[in-house]
Copies of this chain bind each other. A is one copy, B any other.
Amino acid sequence: MNTGSATPPETVGQLGEFGLIDRFVARLGAAGQALLGPGDDAAVLPAADGRVVVSTDSLFEGRHFRRDWSSAEDIGHKAAAQAVADIAAMGARPTGVVVALALPAETSVKWTDGLADGLRDECARAGTAVVGGDVVRADLIALTLTAFGDLAGAQPVTRGGAHVGDIVAVAGRLGWSAAGLVVLTRGFRSPLAVVNAHRRPEPPYAEGPHALKLGATAMCDVSDGLIQDLGHIAKASSVRINLDTERFTVPDKLRDVAGALGADPMSWLLEGGEDHALAATFAATVELPAPWHRVGSVVPGHGVYVDGVARDAGGYDHFA
């Protein structure tokens, strides 16, 4: 029997499955655009133009985040950012996110509260909301987010539409998360600017639909590193992509951090993932407004070249 003086539940096990779901859903707030939100066998979302854009991504503790490096809020932000960035990369606006959460019974309620807050706040930043989910018990924490988007009648911007003669441009940060990861890996907790960039990426969500309107011929988000992700565009479009390092500006902060660590900041910009910038190709005649800036060009051939030198565009293999 619950009494007024009972100790509030401190762990998910004490709270119970349905207690956790109720608490998590209450914390997430309104289910955005959902026609039917959490609490039934399935949610129902609007898909105004008769299509829905769908992307799914998993994050596992120890592989994609560490609880000693990132708060629960950070992990919520990062999971939502990663999921919704894929929707933006098609040129779509997000319409909802569902969250499949696995966690041990020993997980603290404080932690799951923080996760819900981070998911809610990052979804709000992207103009969307969590509309449903699932909770299971597991021996470690893992999240799979599936995000949905609306193309408002337009064709999606795929990876396969880059043409010879196009320019290559980027919107959003490059290298910041990689710098933060190196700092954390070496046992430091600052400078906060880069550590926080690793903890909470800031994808330029609105630039996805913006690029579509500007006529982007191909687009992807930079999740595994610019060279690797452009390698997917080069392969899918049967073209070669040339990057010119002269066109990249190394931010002062990254130059400082790299100097202190004896690292090459340009390698962070070119190879660092998880900032979820957007990279796209456009006809050379398109006048690119900020924050888009040109970093290269599309030529005949295959692969990704930096200053004329072929780089491995096979990219980061998560199983290697």
Residues in A lying within 8 Å of B, measured CB to CB: 12-13, 15-18, 20, 35-36, 39-60, 62-64, 86-87, 89-90, 92, 96, 98-100, 102, 105, 131-140, 142, 144, 146-149, 151, 156, 158-160, 219-221, 236, 314-315, 317-320
B58 touches A35 (CB 8 A): no
Give this chain's copy count. Answer: 2
Given contacts A41-B86, A135-B318, 9 further A-B contacts (CB under 8 A): A17-B320, A35-B51, A42-B54, A42-B55, A42-B156, A44-B156, A47-B50, A47-B52, A60-B102
Nearest-Cβ distance from residue A208 to partner chain B, whole angstroms? 9
Contact of A44 among B133, B151, B320 (CB under 8 A): B151
- Contact residues in B for A12 (Cβ distance below 8 Å): 319
On chain B, the residues within 8 Å of A63 by CB distance are 136-138
> Which residues of B are found within 8 Å of A137, using beta-carbon distances?
63, 318-319
Q: Which of B41, B51, B56, B142 contacts A45 (CB 8 A)?
A: B51
Do B41 and A102 touch (CB < 8 A)? no
Closest to A150 in B: B47
CA distance A35 to B47 in the complex (A): 14
B144 lies within 8 A of A58 (CB):
yes
Q: Which residues of chain B are within 8 angstroms of A151 by Cβ–Cβ distance?
A: 44
Residues of B within 8 A of A90 (CB): 40-42, 44
Could you tell me the distance between the alpha carbons of A86 and B41 in the complex, rounded to whole angstroms? 5
Residues of B within 8 A of A56 (CB): 98-100, 132-134, 144, 146
Inter-subunit contact B53/A15 (CB<8 Å):
no
Q: Which residues of B are found within 8 Å of A18, using beta-carbon distances?
A: 314-315, 317
Bound together, the chains give a CA A36 to CA B151 distance in angstroms of 13
> What CA separation (Å) do A134 and B144 show in the bound complex?
10
Given A63-B138, A142-B102, A146-B146; A159-B41 close (CB under 8 Å): yes
